Structure 1
């Protein structure tokens, strides 16, 4: 891809100090990632792999320990005034709409809140009406006086999306946007996000553990494990021909998969004790079954950390075995 990223991470690391003398936690450990105008990127991985911390760092909610976040070609300024202006252009959509909405606020007030925080000088009612209409809540006047408890889960999520859209952002970060919704509603919300991308040229980072969701909505996918992106590329290329054993394991448990489910041993390692070599090697079936040994990379898997993937836009994998068996 030749288009410059709208939002980018360069050498991004987020390290939290350990408590009571414990080792520091490397929640994000060297990430290169770009999201281009009009592009939807899915960030996938198990719980605890660092997805949400990376998303919060991209939003400016967590300052990086090292590396940088850039937006529209400029490094992110962490002054209060600059961050306020930045968050008008980059909005967050959270997983749980019930937790995102104040139960004492009407739908109108919930959507108008961002306008009031940013001291919007235009027609507030018209802006709220437009945002609700774009989010698929019509007729908008019927929703103005309602409270969150009077809405369905899907309607509450649409209100949250409207609250993000009302400021006309260029990019949204959606953290598990349909995880709390019934299966019958998920498709509607995903279709809404795709329509908004097409109509508004909106970019999005969708954080999810669900590769099926990534398949349905994303242009590109970045697979994260223990603080680092281990495979990335066009969604169809990565999800139809995965090269990293971790990506293969995640795909194997989807209902539509034709492969036998791969059960990974144990939980993801403690990010304060990242294994030597490839960080996935203690759970890698290729190493256990001898395939890495036959390929001549078993020692490298145990001792050599694969290089951090660049943000070239093409398919890449951080795996010693995959790189010698192409």
Structure 2
């Protein structure tokens, strides 16, 4: 496999969502699973997409992979809109690979490690199949790779199975990994090893990654930038240190408050988000602790919180700027 692409030094946007909307029919209504998202992943950049279950982050990831077609807006790869022809999608999925959260469910129990990692190269008709399998296993830390070629998933530890899944992606020499909760099913002792592996692959191969997670602690340890998603839209984004040390959106503050080191957890009120019933004004206002405490009223923005929609946040790769879709945060900066 090639060590790096020739254009790895070009620090532009590699994978991008532009004003992306994805809707589904649900109980006679339309569920706006992704409701206007701008998101960019640059060459060699790791972006964490964070939010609670049901916020739309997995649908967004599937749409970026070409597994869902947007209702409106576009997915761009290398600056060009994604084509949905079978031939174009096959080529695209060699470049942008998915890593799932459950290695046990991702691997066929009847297939050996060799067969699991070789599946991609076989689909794409690559003649150097064995070399790719051996190299991919070695890159993920399964050394010597020959020791694992004829093993079955049940003979491996959870961490080893996740490395096999990552090796299956690496065998195609991708430019982007989309990792959906990559360590959620692993023991705490193994999570750090897999995160360190993803960082090493970024440094050695110039890989980009979008890491989908509900865990802000994971985002802190691996990401360059973080995008916080609530009810189908990015509500705060920016450099990970800036956003997670000094969050300005009340939702981000609430997510951070449940980390073990937080002195005072925030308990959100109201019902969990329903993508078929997105409220007017700020979509977070029915559950917002700032609004409930009267701080928004004292800042003179309570009416705007309840009735005035917020603009879709801009985004660019490697941006040093942070943005928050929040009337209260905006008023404090004025």
TM-score (norm 1): 0.97
1:35 and 2:41 aligned: yes
> Is the 1:17–1:23 contact (alpha carbons within 8 Å) kept by the matching residues of 2?
yes
Give the superposition deviation at 1:66: 0.1
Q: Distance between the aligned counterparts of 1:306 and 1:129, measured in 2?
A: 50
Residue equivalent to 1:213: 218
Alignment coverage as a number of residue pairs: 321
From 103, 107, 114, the counterpart of 2:113: 107
Counterpart residue number, 2:137: 132
Whole-Å Cα distance in 2 between the matches of residues 78 and 268 of structure 1? 34
CA contact (8 A) 2:50 2:227 kept: yes
Decide whether the 8 Å contact of 2:54 with 2:273 is kept in 1.
no
Which string of whole-angstrom CA distances, capped at 9 and with x for unpartnered residues, describes residues 38-58 of structure 1? Answer: 000000000000000000000
1:168 aligns with 2:176: no
Distance across 2 between alignment mates of 1:95 and 1:127: 23
* Structure 2 counterpart SS, 1:24: strand
1:9 alignment partner in structure 2: 17
Aligned pairs for 1:61-210 (under 5 A) are: 61-121=67-127, 123-210=128-215
Shift of 1:126: 1.1
Matches within 5 A, 1:212-291: 212-257=217-262, 259-291=263-295
Measured against aligned partners, the alpha-carbon deviations of 1:179-222 in whole angstroms (never above 9, x if no partner) come to 00000000000000000000000000000000000000000000
Structure 1 residue 268, shift from structure 2 partner: 2.4
Task: Specify the SS of the correspondent of 1:35.
Answer: strand
TM-score of the pair, normalised by structure 2: 0.95
Alignment check: 8 A CA contact 2:55 2:273 kept = no
Taking only aligned residues, the RMSD between alpha carbons, in angstroms, comes to 0.9
| Structure 1: segments with no counterpart, 5+ residues | none
Aligned twin of 2:4: none
Please give the alpha-carbon distance, in whole angstroms, between the structure 2 residues aligned to 1:177 and 1:306.
32
Aligned equivalent of 2:302, options 298, 310, 313: 298
Q: Is the 8 A contact 1:226 1:268 kept in 2?
A: no
**Cα distance between partner residues in 2 of 1:114 and 1:243:** 43
CA distance in 2, matches of 1:309, 1:39: 19
Counterpart of 1:317 in structure 2 is 324
In the aligned structure 2, how far is the partner of 1:267 from the partner of 1:143? 48
Q: How many Å apart are 1:311 and its aligned residue? A: 1.2
Deviations 1:233-266 (A, max 9, x none): 0000000000000000000110122x30001114
- Match of 2:29, SS state, is coil
- Following TM superposition, the consecutive aligned residue runs of length 4 or more in structure 1 with deviations greater than 4 angstroms are none
Supply the distance in 2 between the matched residues of 1:18 and 1:155 (Cα, whole angstroms): 39
Shift of 1:125: 1.2
In 2: Cα distance, 1:112 partner to 1:266 partner: 48
Counterpart of 1:112 in 2: which secondary structure?
Answer: helix
CA distance in 1, matches of 2:111, 2:219: 33
Unpaired runs of 5+ in structure 2? Answer: 1-9
- SS for the counterpart of 2:61 is helix
